[in-house]
Amino acid sequence: MRVFVLKARKAPTDSTPFLASVGQDAHVEILAHALMNALFISKSHRDDVIVHLVLESSRDYSRTITFTASEIGDLGGFAEQALLNAIARALDAARDLKKAAAVEVEAGVKVRALSFEHLIKELSKSYPIYLLDRKGVDIRKVEFAGDVCFLLTDHIPIARKTLNSIKRLGAIKISLGPRMLFAAQCIVLIHNELDR
């Protein structure tokens, strides 16, 4: 299994400001691009992928939206707007979620009122954790065995305190090369390295 976590610091957890943030400061379009590149390939989708989008701009709790590729139905296509709408539907379904509660939105799509830190702690019990960092170990020097989990952010770097807690969970920093890429571009390159 390939697990991707995208921490989106400025992404609103309310669907109206979420959809209004496309192309604005929060750059929520990044979430749609990441979903597209993680889940879909030409004429098909990947079966062995789970994507967790963690939206953190909230009046109460972060929302972790989980897309399980082997279970998802038709999300409405792979156009940016369709994927943004799928995220907005999930946020609407999770509007009044209590802390740590979960809701199934549609096939393969689930939302939890769960923070990035708690999610990573949970994932670290089942997967080796790789933190994407331009200054990390070259991905081509890493031997991946079995299931893997990759952590990415939007345009806002992870706070030092969170970074330290991720390190304590044994996360390894890996690099895809010298250029600073978008998270969605990183996902394409990771898939390609593992595909080969």
The site for ligand SAM (CB under 6 A) is made up of: 132-134, 152-153, 155, 157, 175-177, 179-183, 186
Judged by beta carbon, residue 43 or residue 135, the one nearer ligand SAM is 135
Q: What region, left, alpha or beta, does residue 155 occupy, with left being phi > 0 and alpha being psi -120 to 50 degrees?
A: alpha
Cβ of residue 17: shortest distance to ligand SAM, in angstroms? Answer: 22
Judged by beta carbon, residue 97 or residue 127, the one nearer ligand SAM is 127
Judged by beta carbon, residue 33 or residue 112, the one nearer ligand SAM is 33
Cβ of residue 113: shortest distance to ligand SAM, in angstroms? Answer: 23
Cβ of residue 11: shortest distance to ligand SAM, in angstroms? Answer: 13
Q: Are 150 and 193 in contact (CB under 8 A)?
A: no
Number of residues that make up the chain: 196
Judged by beta carbon, residue 39 or residue 94, the one nearer ligand SAM is 39
Cβ of residue 164: shortest distance to ligand SAM, in angstroms? Answer: 16
Rg, the chain, Cα only? 16
C-alpha dist (Å) from residue 61 to 5, 79, 166: 17, 28, 20
Q: What region, left, alpha or beta, does residue 179 occupy, with left being phi > 0 and alpha being psi -120 to 50 degrees?
A: beta
